[in-house]
Amino acid sequence: MNIVANSEPRIASLKVTSDSILAQLTDGRAISVPLAWSWRLSEATPQQRNKFEILGNGQGVHWDELDEDISAWGMLYGVPAHRSQRVSRSRRPKTSTPIRRVKLAP
C-alpha cells in the first residue's frame, strides 16, 4: 500500500530577525529569506514584526497590523513581495534638479 504524503510546504514556527525571516517547516526543513523580501516587514518595528499569525495548516503567515502575508511556498521557491508601483512612486526621493521651462514662440 502506498501512502502519498502532502508535498506542500507548511510552516511550523517562524522567527523574524533584523535581517531575516526564518521558518521551521513541518517536514523538518528550515528555510530563511532576507527581510528585504518584504518591504513592509523591513520598514516595521521589531514589535510589529513579531505580531504574526500562522495561517491554516501552516500555508503562510499573516501580519494583521502591517497588512502583510507571506506563503510557505513563496519563501521556499523564492518569491519576494514587491512594492506596488503606486507606493514606489510616492516614496521616491524628490530630485533637486530644477525643471527648465521653455517659452515657445506663437
Q: In the CATH hierarchy, which fold is given to the domain comprising 11-80?
A: NE0471 N-terminal domain-like (3.30.2020)
pLDDT band of residue 5 (cuts 50, 70, 90) is: low
- 76 backbone dihedrals φ, ψ, rounded to 5°: -70, -40
Domain boundaries, the chain: 11-80
Under 8 Å between Cβ of 13 and 27: no
The helix (H) or strand (E) run that includes residue 41 is helix 39-43
User: Rounded mean pLDDT of 3-29?
Assistant: 90
Nearest Cα neighbor of 43 from 81, 71, 75, 72 is 81
Task: Dump pLDDT digits (tens) for 54-72.
Answer: 999 999 999 999 999 999 9
pLDDT band of residue 3 (cuts 50, 70, 90) is: low
User: Rounded mean pLDDT of 39-44?
Assistant: 95
Task: Dump pLDDT digits (tens) for 31-40.
Answer: 999 999 999 9
Average pLDDT, whole number, for the chain?
Answer: 82
pTM greater than 0.75: no
